[in-house]
Amino acid sequence: MFNIINTSGGPLTITGFAQGPGANNSALNNVAMIVHYTPGDYLTQPTASWVQLASGTVSLSPNKCTGYLPVSVTIPTGATYGFFVGLVSNSVQYTTGTGTPGVTPWFTNNDMVITQGRGGTFPNPAFSPRNWNGKVFYGTVGCSEIRKEVAFVVSTDTAKAVIASATQTAPGQFNFASTGSNGHLYQWTFGNGLTASGPTASTTYASGGAFTATLVVTDTVCGTVDSTFTVVNSTIGLNEFGLDQAVQVYPNPSNGLVQLVFEGSALEGNLELVNPLGQVVLAQSFTKDAGAYNHPLNLSDLSKGIYHVRILSSEGSTVLRVVLQ
């Protein structure tokens, strides 16, 4: 039993005690350890003021402080608290004192004074002066009453991608705008191998047909990403829908087996199937005489989605949409 006097200049938080060896520097395995404390000098405090801080099973080793129990008690600035650290039924090693129990320092540093004390059983150890063999664990930073007002902004933004317009300004040339989008990074891909960045973008298609333009928007504050796409029909020197043909595709939607039906004059040309990413996944040529002509397509191996059939010839071009489901 001993006093700890707080000399740190602020609150002193005791976080644990480590008990030294058993009596005569011996090893003790699986023994019951206890820690009690009282606010004030242990020499003057009544028994009723003592509070048990911790208890547990520990093992003690020669020449070491291995019997550790965590605690949490804060000694106010300049205050004295009494502590009892020991075993329930076994003896621990001690050092014989030469001073006054509870008064004469046994250990000192800038933060505390540990006084010489008494040895024996709790709550009335009879032997003095006795000096405890162990370690005290502590922190000098307690809970401060100082408060400082701070201000911060909570961002609830989330990325939103919108292609507000895709305008063809000349054959093969398109301007894109992302009005209505929300984010910090704007990345465009146009289906022709070209990319761009920024809220607005433009590109030129070297050939006619359907192309998928994709916008990816990233909100760098909240770390969210959104994307959208649109399909544009580029005309390059051809009269789109000028084939002098009535062209349709059926069934549409389809499970993959579709028919292209032409009604009109004789025609030679090529057809391409474009996936939602603007990639050509099928290319075929065809020749038809005047009148009706059926051209079968087996698309059952393709993924579900919206595809575009581009029909190109020297007479013009057209684009049909087909849905695979």
pLDDT of residue 8: 92
Span 243-259, average pLDDT: 80
pLDDT at 251 over 90: no
Average pLDDT estimate for 232-261: 72
What does the mean pLDDT of the chain come to? 87
pLDDT tens string 288-315 = 888 888 888 898 888 888 888 888 877 7
Domains of the chain: 2-139 (no CATH), 165-234 (2.60.40.10), 245-324 (2.60.40.3080)
Structure tokens at 128: 């003095």
pLDDT at residue 325 above 60? yes
Model confidence band, residue 237 (pLDDT cutoffs 50, 70, 90): very low
pLDDT over 70 (residue 82) = yes
Contact predicate 308/208, CB 8 Å? no
Amino acid identity of 125?
P
Task: Write down the pLDDT at residue 271.
Answer: 85
pLDDT score of 156: 66
Residue 321 is predicted with a pLDDT of 82
CA 166 to chain centre: 36
Of 57-71, 89-103, 179-193, 250-264, minimum mean pLDDT range: 250-264
Type of residue found at 53: L
Please name the residues in contact with 122: beta carbons below 8 A apart, sequence gap of 6 or more.
1, 34, 36, 50, 84, 86
Q: Which residue has the tokens 């025609």?
A: 267
Task: Compute the radius of gyration of the chain from its Cα atoms.
Answer: 43
* Averaged pLDDT for residues 81-103: 94
- Residues 263, 11: Cα–Cα separation, whole Å: 95
pLDDT cut 70: percent of the chain above it: 91
Rounded distance, CA 117 to CA 114, Å?
9
* Alpha carbon 41 to chain centroid, angstroms: 50
* Contact present, 304 and 325 (Cβ < 8 Å): yes
Averaged over 35-39, what is the pLDDT?
A: 96
Judge whether residue 100 has pLDDT over 90. Answer: yes
Cα–Cα dist 196/190, whole Å? 9
State mean pLDDT over 58-79. Answer: 94
279: its two tokens: 């990639």
Q: How would you write 158-186 as a 3-class SS string?
A: CCECCCCEEEEEECCEEEEECCCCECCEE
Highest mean pLDDT among 92-106, 251-265, 279-293: 92-106
- Position of tokens 């820690």? 35
Helix (H) or strand (E) holding 28: strand 28-39
| Model pLDDT for residues 116-137, shown as the tens digit of each residue | 999 999 999 999 999 999 999 9
Residue with tokens 């087909």: 322
State how far the alpha carbon of 37 is from the alpha carbons of 52, 58, 107, 143, 277, in Å.
6, 19, 18, 20, 74
pLDDT surpassing 60 at residue 239:
no
Residue 48 in this model has a pLDDT that exceeds 70: yes
According to the model, what pLDDT value does residue 309 have? 84
Quote the pLDDT of residue 233. 82
- pTM for the model stands at 0.45
Angle at Cα 134 formed by Cα 133 and Cα 140, nearest 5°?
Answer: 135
In the block, residue with structure tokens 């990325």: 159
Q: Quick check: 321 and 212 in contact, CB under 8 A?
A: no
Q: Which residues sit opposite 174 in a β-bridge? A: 168, 203
The answer on pLDDT for 37 being more than 90 is: yes
**Residue 141: pLDDT above 50?**
no
Q: What is the mean pLDDT of residues 50-67?
A: 94
Share of the chain above pLDDT 90, in %: 53
- pLDDT (tens digit, 9 = 90+) per residue, 191-209? 888 899 999 999 888 776 7
Phi/psi for 202 (5° steps) reads: -145, 160
